Amino acid sequence: MRYLITLLLAFISAAGMAQKLELRIPIAHTSYVQGLAISPDEKYIATASSDKSVKIWSMANGMQLKTLPLKQGAADEVHFSADSRYLTVRTENGWEYWDVLAGKQVYLFEKGLVKDGYKIGATVSADGSLGAVVNPVDILIWDAANGTRLKAYKWKAPDADGSLNGNGIKLNKKYIAITQNKKLQVFSLETGKKVDFDQPDPEVQEMAITANSNMLLVNGKTKMYKVDLDSKVATIISDAVYGLTGLSFSADDKNIIMAPRAVLDAATNRELKHFYDTEYNDLMGASSKYIVVFNRANSSGKLYSATTFEKLRELKNETSGLQRMMVKAATNQLIFTTNAREARIWNVSTYKFEKTVPFNTREAGDWYNSAFGNQGDYYLTGNFGRQTVVNINTGEASPAYADRGVKAISPDGTIGFTDKSGAGSIINFATGNVIKTIDFKYPRYLPSPDNKTVIYQHYPDAKAFIYNYRQNTEITADVELGEYPVFNNTGSKLYSLDAVDGEGGKAINLLTTSVSTGQQLSKIPLVAIQRKGALKFAVSPDEKYAAVLYRPTDEYYMSKNYVLVTYDLGTGKEISRANDIMGGDEIAFLGNNYLVAMMSVITNTVQVFNAITTAHLVDLAHFKGTDDWIAVTPDGLYDGNMESLKKFYFVRGNEFVDPGAYFEKFYTPNLFARLVAGERFTPVDVNINPAPKVRISYAQVTRNLNVVDDKTPTYVNTTGVAEITVTASAENDRVDEIRLFHNGKIVNLATRGLFVTDNNTHTDTKKYTLNLLPGVNSIRAVALNSQRTESEPDEIAVTYNAAGQPNTPAPINNGNGFIAQVDRKATMHLIVIGINAYKNPKMSLNYALADATAFKNEAEKDAHTVLAKLNTYFITDDKADKAGITAAFAEVQKNAKPEDVFVFYYAGHGVISEKNKEFYLVPNDVTDLKNVDEALAQNGIPSKMLQQYAINIAAQKQVFILDACQSAGAFQQLMADNAGALKSLALVARSTGTHWIAASGSQQFAQEFAQLGHGAFTYVLLDAMKGGAINNKMITVNGLKSFLQIKVPDLMKKYNGAPQYPSSYGFGSDFPLELIGLAGLRLD
Q: 0.85 cut: is pTM over it? A: no
Reduced to 3 states (helix: H, G, I; strand: E, B; else coil), residue 852 is helix
Q: Does the structure show a pLDDT above 50 at 1078?
A: no
Reduced to 3 states (helix: H, G, I; strand: E, B; else coil), residue 398 is coil
Which of 569, 571, 487, 497 lies closest to 534, judged by CA?
497
Q: Does the structure show a pLDDT above 70 at 281?
A: yes
Which of 363, 414, 410, 408 lies closest to 384, judged by CA?
363
Measured between alpha carbons, how far is 434 from 564 in angstroms, rounded to an integer?
Answer: 42
Sequence-ordered list of residues with C-beta below 8 angstroms from that of 652, at least 6 positions apart, any chain = 19, 20, 21, 22, 690
Q: Does the structure show a pLDDT above 90 at 230?
A: yes
Structure confidence at residue 118 (pLDDT): 56
Sequence-ordered list of residues with C-beta below 8 angstroms from that of 553, at least 6 positions apart, any chain = 501, 502, 503, 504, 531, 532, 533
- 871 with 856: CB under 8 angstroms? no
Report the CATH fold assignment for 820-1075.
Rossmann fold (3.40.50)
Q: What is the identity of the amino acid at 537?
A: F
Structure confidence at residue 473 (pLDDT): 96
Structure confidence at residue 87 (pLDDT): 97
Query: How would residue 7 be classed by pLDDT, with cut points 50, 70 and 90?
Result: very low
Residues forming beta bridges with residue 326, ordered by sequence position: 335
- Torsion of the alpha carbons at 879, 880, 882 and 887, rounded to the nearest 10: 70
Q: Does the structure show a pLDDT above 80 at 569?
A: yes
**Which tens digit of pLDDT belongs to each residue from 590-638?**
988 899 999 987 778 899 999 999 999 999 998 887 778 999 998 888 9
Query: How would residue 1032 be classed by pLDDT, with cut points 50, 70 and 90?
Result: confident
**Which tens digit of pLDDT belongs to each residue from 644-699?**
877 888 887 777 777 777 788 888 988 998 899 888 888 766 567 788 999 999 97
- 409 with 390: CB under 8 angstroms? no
- 759 with 769: CB under 8 angstroms? no
Which of 95, 99, 56 lies closest to 74, judged by CA?
95
Helix residue spans in 864-956 (DSSP H): 882-895, 932-939, 943-952
Query: How would residue 988 be classed by pLDDT, with cut points 50, 70 and 90?
Result: confident
Measured between alpha carbons, how far is 756 from 766 in angstroms, rounded to an integer?
Answer: 6
CATH assignment of 489-622?
2.130.10.10
Measured between alpha carbons, how far is 909 from 461 in angstroms, rounded to an integer?
Answer: 66
Sequence-ordered list of residues with C-beta below 8 angstroms from that of 209, at least 6 positions apart, any chain = 126, 170, 171, 172, 175, 177, 215, 216, 217, 249
Q: Does the structure show a pLDDT above 60 at 1077?
A: no
Share of the chain above pLDDT 70, in %: 89
Structure confidence at residue 578 (pLDDT): 93
Residues of the chain with CATH 2.60.40.10: 693-808
693-808: CATH architecture: Sandwich (2.60)
Q: What is the identity of the amino acid at 900?
A: D
Structure confidence at residue 1081 (pLDDT): 37
Strands 175-180 and 169-171: antiparallel
Which H or E element spans position 1023? helix 1016-1023
Higher model confidence: residue 708 or residue 577? Answer: 577
Share of the chain above pLDDT 90, in %: 52
Measured between alpha carbons, how far is 791 from 715 in angstroms, rounded to an integer?
Answer: 23
Residues forming beta bridges with residue 54, ordered by sequence position: 48, 68
- The mean pLDDT of 177-194, rounded to a whole number, is 95
- 737 with 726: CB under 8 angstroms? no
Higher model confidence: residue 974 or residue 419? Answer: 419
Query: How would residue 115 be classed by pLDDT, with cut points 50, 70 and 90?
Result: low
Task: Please state, in angstroms and as integers, the Cα–Cα distance from residue 329 to each residue in 326, 348, 957, 1007, following that order.
Answer: 9, 9, 44, 28
What DSSP string describes 8-70? EE--B-TTS-B--EEEEE----SS-EEEEEE-TTSSEEEEEETTTEEEEEETTT--EEEEEE-
Q: Does the structure show a pLDDT above 50 at 564?
A: yes
Which H or E element spans position 552? strand 545-552
**Which tens digit of pLDDT belongs to each residue from 951-980?**
999 999 999 999 886 433 333 333 335 666
Which H or E element spans position 991? helix 978-992
- 484 with 536: CB under 8 angstroms? yes
Higher model confidence: residue 653 or residue 452? Answer: 452
Structure confidence at residue 702 (pLDDT): 53
Structure confidence at residue 968 (pLDDT): 32
Which H or E element spans position 975? helix 972-975
Measured between alpha carbons, how far is 800 from 718 in angstroms, rounded to an integer?
Answer: 6
Measured between alpha carbons, how far is 816 from 801 in angstroms, rounded to an integer?
Answer: 30
Which of 305, 302, 260, 310 lies closest to 281, judged by CA?
260
- 1045 with 1083: CB under 8 angstroms? no
Measured between alpha carbons, how far is 794 from 209 in angstroms, rounded to an integer?
Answer: 44
Structure confidence at residue 739 (pLDDT): 92
Reduced to 3 states (helix: H, G, I; strand: E, B; else coil), residue 613 is coil
Measured between alpha carbons, how far is 1010 from 807 in angstroms, rounded to an integer?
Answer: 49
Residues of the chain with CATH 3.40.50.1460: 820-1075
- The mean pLDDT of 794-799, rounded to a whole number, is 92
Structure confidence at residue 884 (pLDDT): 97
The mean-pLDDT minimum among 109-123, 356-370, 557-571 falls in: 109-123
Q: Does the structure show a pLDDT above 90 at 923?
A: yes
The mean-pLDDT minimum among 370-384, 704-718, 872-886 falls in: 704-718
Share the mean pLDDT of the chain. Answer: 86
What DSSP string describes 1033-1060? TEEEHHHHHHHHHHHHHHHHHHTTPPP-
Structure confidence at residue 401 (pLDDT): 58
CB atoms within 10 A of CB 441: 11
- 315 with 300: CB under 8 angstroms? yes
Which of 48, 102, 39 lies closest to 71, judged by CA?
48
Structure confidence at residue 1041 (pLDDT): 87
Query: How would residue 113 be classed by pLDDT, with cut points 50, 70 and 90?
Result: low
- 628 with 643: CB under 8 angstroms? yes
- The mean pLDDT of 208-228, rounded to a whole number, is 96
Measured between alpha carbons, how far is 170 from 124 in angstroms, rounded to an integer?
Answer: 8
Q: Does the structure show a pLDDT above 60 at 175?
A: yes
**Which tens digit of pLDDT belongs to each residue from 677-687?**
888 888 766 56
- 468 with 456: CB under 8 angstroms? no
Listed ranges 317-321, 601-605, 857-861; the one with the highest mean pLDDT: 857-861
Q: Does the structure show a pLDDT above 80 at 194?
A: yes
Q: Does the structure show a pLDDT above 50 at 1005?
A: no
- The mean pLDDT of 185-204, rounded to a whole number, is 95
Residues of the chain with CATH 2.130.10.10: 489-622
Listed ranges 394-398, 504-508, 657-661; the one with the highest mean pLDDT: 394-398
**Which tens digit of pLDDT belongs to each residue from 872-913?**
999 999 999 999 999 999 999 999 999 999 999 999 988 888
